[in-house]
Structure 1
């Protein structure tokens, strides 16, 4: 598993900020129809959750794609910090504070991958789904996000996998 660097987390936050700015309808429209506008955030949020789970996978093709995406993002973000603003790059993850997926949790991630790929190809919100997954991959192993979201998401995937495969198998 690859850990997020300061540059990777910065790009993840930049993706989140960009999406929120594009989504923001304004205060009056948001007050008039909050559920309609909040519903436009759901594809990004769902894909973000998938991205967090994808980066928690230990191996296989999904884990390799997530790790490679994070590695490239780390490199690009670190380069932007060093050459763009004269800052310093570095690892921001303090240690393995994530919960690994069980075998059935990994099976849920595989099923979610199929659903995400189909949704990206079929939905008009494909760009939101791609950005959400990328953002989740970038932020999934950061120290603050891993404790806040990755652990409950991994627990939910492990529980759902155990429940689904306990009934079917």
Structure 2
């Protein structure tokens, strides 16, 4: 498993902050909160997929997710060193993660097909991709976003069990 560094978490948080600043509607949030919050849905779905993708053990999906995490770690570490004079490479993951079961990984493969189709067909492709990269960066962090990976993995494992008949 590739571990996220402080730089990778910083990239993930930057993506999250960028999205929230662009999304923030001001007073419109009070007038029609559901419609305004729904504009965050593509990013949120991408984030969930990114977290699940980084939890996959192997295969092409896991390889791409780990590659994206490695690049984000490197870019974030470079930005921390050259941008603000910080130290590179400190691991920012502090706990073990629940692995996906065989049926859970099958669900992630199905979600991958849906994600690829949505990115290609939807007008929300950039938000989905940004959310997925943010999820990859924050999915194994020791913070709140990293702890969200455990219930997501459990939910996908249970869903896979029901879909494939492994759970009665």
TM-score normalised over the length of structure 2: 0.95
Map residues 2-13 of structure 1 onto 2, 5 A cutoff: 2-13=2-13
Aligned alpha-carbon RMSD (Å): 1.1
Q: How far off its partner does 1:67 sit?
A: 0.3
Match of 1:22 in 2: 22
CA distance in 1, matches of 2:22, 2:122: 18
Aligned length: 165
Summarize the Cα distance change of 1:81–1:147 in structure 2 as closer, same or farther, 3 Å threshold. closer
Structure 1 unaligned segments of length 5 or more: list them: none
8 A Cα contact 1:98 1:146, kept in partner: no
Structure 2 unaligned segments of length 5 or more: list them: none
Match of 2:126 in 1: 127
Match of 2:71 in 1: 72
Map residues 2-151 of structure 1 onto 2, 5 A cutoff: 2-26=2-26, 28-89=27-88, 90-95=90-95, 97-145=96-144, 148-151=147-150
SS of residue in 2 equivalent to 1:91:
coil
Of the structure 1 ranges 74-83 and 140-149, higher mean CA displacement relative to structure 2 is found in: 140-149
Q: How far off its partner does 1:143 sit?
A: 1.0
> Residue by residue, what CA displacement relative to the aligned partner does 1:117-153 show, whole Å, maximum 9, x if unpaired?
1001111111100000000000000012465200000
Q: Hey, which bits of structure 1, 4+ residues long, moved more than 4 A?
A: none
CA distance in 1, matches of 2:123, 2:65: 23
8 A Cα contact 2:107 2:156, kept in partner: yes
